[in-house]
Structure 1
Amino acid sequence: MAPTRPPGPRTGSTGPASPAPGAPPVETTARLRPVPPAAPQGEPAATPPTRRRPVGAVDLTPRPGAGSGSAPAAAPRPHWVPPETPAETTTRLRPVPARRPGRTAGAVACLVLGLGLTGGAAAGAWLVGDSAARSADRFTEARGLWHDVPVDTLFPRTLDGEGAGPGRADRTWTRVAVAPDGPCTGALDPLLLRTVQPVGCERVLRATYTDATSTSVTTVGLVFTDADRPAMTALRERFAGESLDERTDLLPRTLAAPGTVAARFGDEQRASWRVSVLTDVPVIVYAVSGFADGRTVDDPQPAAEAMAEGQTSTPAQAGLGHDADGIADRIERGIRTTATTGKATQEPR
């Protein structure tokens, strides 16, 4: 007869299985461990005493992944996870160098100087351009001086020649005759007229002066041309290069005035002369001197040569070179001043 087995557990039972006879008891109840009281603030929490597990006891403390059930699914990770706060670092500040007033002042001075040079260059350029334009306008306007300016401005009644005589003696010249403006033909020698023809000859104005003793007479003339500045410059260079102002066949003609001390002043009485081609106004200035008593001169001399030291010629001894040069110089300065300001250098008297 087979031995009788003890009845086993019912299928589907959820209760714990009965221990076999004679087996040691098994703990099936999870004991809750006491929670130590919270430590006061500022004091370290007390470490719970380690409790020894009895021999043969089963540790029912839940472990991750243990047990018959599946571990709970992890929470889905968000698409954006804020970056971890970086550990605090300390930035070392670099020492700031001490300010140097001298270097700063130098930099400011350089800046001001640079701006000044730039502005000065621009202003200089503007001024140069403006000055050139005004000069060109004055040159063009000077062509009309022969009919726009009174005769007493162009040929003052009296000319003061301080230091203009021989030995730097003072001279005074008085106007005795004035000719109406006229064409160049007849007023100029044919050869001289041909020489100045490249610049054109629009009009000629003439006057005759005498010295304080009435022993010398001088005719001065203004030849107004149609040329521009480069043409006048070219003619002046030609006169200087070819010594045209020293040739006796290019002597200017005189202006005789009946009833005056210059009544007998003709071509035979010409003793000294000067011809100047101006470049700042379109004018040629000339002067020719001689004796008032009508005597002839066989060896006329240019004014520059007659005024040279040691000259013994008749024009030099009589100071006729000084007369021609002094009168031409003052009429020349007057026409330049009149072209610039509209006023003569000497007030008519």
Structure 2
Amino acid sequence: FAYLKFVYADDPFFARPRSLFTIHNLAYQGLFEKDVLGRIGLPESLFNMNDLEFFGKVNTLKAGILYATGVTTVSPRYSREIQTAEFGCGLDGLLRHRAGALNGILNGVDYRDWDPATDRLIPRNFGPADLAGKKECREELCRMFGLPEPADLPVAGMVTRLAGQKGLDIVCEALDSLLGLGLALVILGTGDQKIQDFLLAARKRHPVRIGIKIAFDERIAHTIYAGSDIFLIPSRYEPCGLAQMYAMKYGTVPVVRATGGLDDSVQEFDARAGSGNGFKFDEAAAGPFLEAVARSVRIFRRPAEWRKIVRNAMAADFSWERSAAAYLALYEKIAAAA
């Protein structure tokens, strides 16, 4: 984007092209020392606060926000969040300045890889019309993690990076109370050593209620999505998130913090109206997280209502066709701009 504006500005070939910059995670900004400008052929005069300078560094992500014709994020809510001090990572003022060029488009899922009706990595296929295969996946999931299958308790699953950004510190703080709600918990992931050690120690204290695998394994991940009843995503921030979309397709009800794409894709279940596909909480803290999980456990104990929310979740459409249509419309709008 900086090259288009400052290096090729007089080249007739580049006189008309429009550009679009997509931000996935604003926290990763590409910071370099000042001398990088000369080495990559950009004017050193750009090292000022109105261009690429950012707290004494060259910020390459800032260049995209400044110079692209349009800017997108991977969910509508994240596009609003990054204009605040809490989520803006020091660039919120610039993003507010460019708010008219900023759009949020929710990511999509490739259902060729994530569909319980055709998934070759799960023990038995199933669909919304016949959930018998999900029960078999639940049985296999418990065997994988060395847990007795809890006949009348929900199994909550997580497939995640073990990090504070993903809310694992909240899970650790709430763990005993979480088990007190009456559920079993399985977690697959790697990450922060302190979190790993805490979870492994908890597994020793609660061998029939907690299953932990410090790894990443695609077959186990798919089995968690297919075999769990509830899927936990207590992220502190989440630009989009795909895990909640995978979980819903497999009839596994998400409990998420209402941030970024989690908020855009999960609607709180309303038992009276029979609407909604999951459960949400606002504050990134143990108390609100536990309250949301408790709501999910209560509905799990009401079979008719639980069947309704499971089918609502499975009916949600997060295919790339919808996202691609939104991108195409934006491309056409940008291309038509004077």
Indicate whether the TM-score tops 0.5. Answer: no
With the length of structure 2 as denominator, give the TM-score of the two structures: 0.21
Which structure is higher in helix share? 2
Pick the structure with greater CA Rg. 1
Which of 1 and 2 has higher RCO (CA within 8 Å, sep 6+)? 2
